[in-house]
């Protein structure tokens, strides 16, 4: 790994304490971020508090121009937009992609209140660490959900870390549509959509057919760091097939929340529709985000972060209806998310990814530290949701009463 790539990777873990340079006056999370950061620092060794945190803060100031320059080049932003983006990153502690989306989609005036590192730190402080660790282990989480009668993607094989896949065993012996993902991870990092074509040929992520050696090499890279889970690729219910893009099924993102010692409720829901031809991990371009009006059970107009000022009442590539469309299978999917949340009584907020299939809802995974932009997006697009910031504040107050600093 060259020095520039190493530095970029390190810069994307900053700021280490989740704090920007200063919090704007209208930042609703400013005091909660400071609260979480103080609790995190208290648990660190003295040298971390005295040396590492200030050094990382200085490194963040140095990293901002580099990260913004890389982001601006990728997005072809004019020079006039770069200075403002640097200020937004500096103030909020957000990575450029999150700061840019927040400014152009959520608020033109307020900075991002809970960017990635700050969100992870805050939600870790108010949630049960054991529950977060369980959900981070997709195999353990699937076992928990299945034991409660909730459907997860059919598991066909596990390729253990450092072990070569056996292509002469099931499920590689006959034509199949498979999905391979790391046992731990998020945001589709390290995932492969594999089509077993027969005659020793395989399709990877929709590309041209390749042979056994190419497939084994791709999986060897993934298995070098983690177990790989081989699952059957899901198909959506017939009522939403027109919302597919190639082999990418629409994913329902349901956010559940609860009061301290309370019962779970549904906070909000989005339907994530893949945009044809875009890389699945591209946060700006990969998906059209369609908010759901929960009472009516209907989709509303969606937003594509690549064109933040537009709202899409229909899919632009096939004119499939969005706004006002009843979402088939929504009620069972919401019930499944609430039931899953009941299995994790120590957490305030979980984002569940669900696919509505002909057999019913299938839970892909849950995340206790999901992206705050997606969590709050339905509300900011004008769809009624349950207020979640006061709820999270009550969790912090409960923790302070039980274990004050």
What is the pTM (predicted TM-score) of this model?
0.92
With respect to residue 321, please indicate whether it lies within any of the assigned structural domains: yes
Q: Under DSSP, is residue 74 helix (H, G, I), strand (E, B) or coil?
A: helix
Q: Is the pLDDT of residue 176 over 90?
A: yes
Are 245 and 355 within one domain?
yes
CA angle 161, 180, 374 (to 5 degrees): 110
Give per-residue pLDDT as tens, 116-144: 888 888 988 898 889 989 999 999 999 99
Q: Which of 67, 123, 42, 68 is nearest to 370 (CA)?
A: 123
List the CATH number of the domain containing 275.
Answer: 3.30.470.20
With respect to residue 12, please indicate whether it lies within any of the assigned structural domains: yes
Picking from 170, 199, 232, the residue at the C-terminal end of a domain is: 232
Any idea what DSSP says for residue 312? B
Any idea what DSSP says for residue 26? T
pLDDT band for 79, please (50, 70, 90 cuts): confident
Are 189 and 250 within one domain?
no
Per the structure, the complete domain to which residue 75 belongs is given by: 3-113
Task: Answer with the residue of higher pLDDT: 199 or 311.
Answer: 311
Q: Which of 257, 277, 245, 288 is nearest to 377 (CA)?
A: 288
Are 266 and 218 within one domain?
no
The whole-number average pLDDT for the span 260-275 is 94
Are 204 and 277 within one domain?
no
Task: Answer with the residue of higher pLDDT: 247 or 91.
Answer: 91
Are 136 and 269 within one domain?
yes
Are 223 and 342 within one domain?
no
How many domains is the chain partitioned into structurally?
A: 3
Are 43 and 96 within one domain?
yes
The whole-number average pLDDT for the span 351-370 is 94
Are 227 and 239 within one domain?
no
């Amino acid at each position: 790994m060259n020095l520039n790539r190493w530095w970029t990777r390190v810069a994307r873990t900053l700021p280490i304490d989740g704090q920007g340079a200063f919090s704007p006056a209208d930042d609703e999370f400013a005091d909660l971020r400071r609260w979480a950061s103080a609790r995190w620092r208290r648990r660190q060794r003295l040298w971390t508090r005295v040396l590492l945190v200030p050094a990382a803060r200085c490194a963040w100031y140095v990293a901002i121009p580099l990260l913004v320059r890389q982001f601006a080049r990728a997005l072809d932003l004019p020079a006039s937009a770069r200075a403002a983006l640097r200020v937004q990153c500096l103030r909020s502690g957000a990575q450029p992609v999150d700061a840019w989306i927040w400014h152009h989609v959520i608020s033109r005036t307020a900075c991002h209140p809970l960017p990635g590192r700050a969100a992870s730190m805050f939600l870790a402080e108010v949630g049960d660490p054991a529950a977060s660790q369980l959900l981070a282990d997709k195999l353990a989480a699937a076992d928990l959900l299945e034991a409660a009668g909730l459907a997860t993607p059919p598991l066909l094989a596990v390729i253990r870390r450092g072990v070569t896949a056996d292509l002469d065993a099931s499920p590689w012996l006959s034509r199949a549509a498979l999905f391979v993902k790391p046992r731990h991870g998020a945001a589709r990092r390290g995932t492969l959509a594999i089509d077993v074509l027969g005659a020793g040929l395989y399709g990877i992520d929709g590309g041209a057919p390749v042979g056994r050696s190419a497939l084994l090499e791709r999986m060897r890279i993934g298995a070098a760091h983690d177990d790989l889970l081989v699952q059957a690729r899901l198909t959506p219910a017939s009522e939403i097939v027109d919302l597919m893009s190639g082999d990418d099924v629409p994913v329902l993102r349901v956010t559940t929340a609860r009061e301290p010692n309370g019962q779970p409720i549904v906070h909000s829901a989005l339907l994530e529709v893949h945009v044809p031809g875009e890389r699945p991990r591209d946060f700006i371009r990969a998906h059209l985000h369609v908010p759901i009006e929960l009472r009516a059970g209907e989709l509303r107009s969606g937003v594509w972060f690549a064109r933040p000022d537009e709202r899409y009442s229909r899919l632009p590539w096939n004119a499939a209806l969005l706004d006002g469309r009843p979402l088939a299978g929504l009620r069972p999917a919401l019930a499944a998310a609430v039931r899953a949340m009941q299995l994790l009584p120590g957490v305030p907020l979980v984002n569940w990814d669900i696919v509505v299939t002909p057999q019913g809802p299938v839970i892909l995974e849950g995340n206790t530290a999901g992206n705050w932009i997606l969590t709050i997006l339905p509300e900011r697009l004008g769809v009624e949701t349950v207020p979640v910031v006061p709820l999270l504040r009550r969790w912090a107050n409960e923790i302070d009463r039980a274990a004050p600093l």
